[in-house]
Structure 1
């Protein structure tokens, strides 16, 4: 269990690396060939409502360039 990005360390970084090696497979299977965004919320001010590390893949349309 990794609660958030603040808890990534030498012992669990391999799990995160594994996730990022799978993301291209997932996005390709979803037809996201023109780009996508990966989002991870961390902490209360980052709007993390689920207390384990996970990623959101956003795509399928032109995304806004601001992150407000």
Structure 2
């Protein structure tokens, strides 16, 4: 097999299909930032089930229902405190932002992602944010591409 053909086969297993990327973009463009409860608030309150992999008094982590990698976990703060996206962060949010990143490292270790992982925070419609409750995506279990998106 030629190196070009090998790369094409390899990329078909690493990159999400264009239709998946289009649906993510559509969802982000349709989302409207508001103070109304989000799907994440409902998951925190156990009104909607989730495959929880980590929970403490500040952070909840669960498997994404539309995984973009073999390991795809979403980490959210249990209290939104006006932090709907990273661009809305204020100095008072420093502690929870650090806690989210540290917890991502803890969960990555728990998930045995020894060879590396990626952290993604989408912000705003052009950043493909579809839920306006700050959240961190932990992706791993495959080779990540660069540049992303």
Equivalent residues in 2 for 1:1-68 (5 A)? 1=80, 2-68=83-149
Take 2:109 and 2:123, find their aligned partners in 1: how far apart are those partners? Answer: 26
Higher RCO (CA-CA < 8 Å; seq separation 6+): 1
Give structure 2 stretches of 5+ with no counterpart. 1-79
TM-score, L = length of structure 2: 0.44
Aligned residues: 68
Secondary structure of 1:22's aligned partner: helix
As a proportion of its length, which structure holds more strand? 2
Q: Which of these two proteins has the greater Rg computed from alpha carbons?
A: 2
Take 2:141 and 2:87, find their aligned partners in 1: how far apart are those partners? Answer: 29
Two-structure CA RMSD over aligned residues (Å): 0.9
Which segments of structure 1 move beyond 3 Å, counting only runs of 4 or more? none
As a proportion of its length, which structure holds more helix? 2
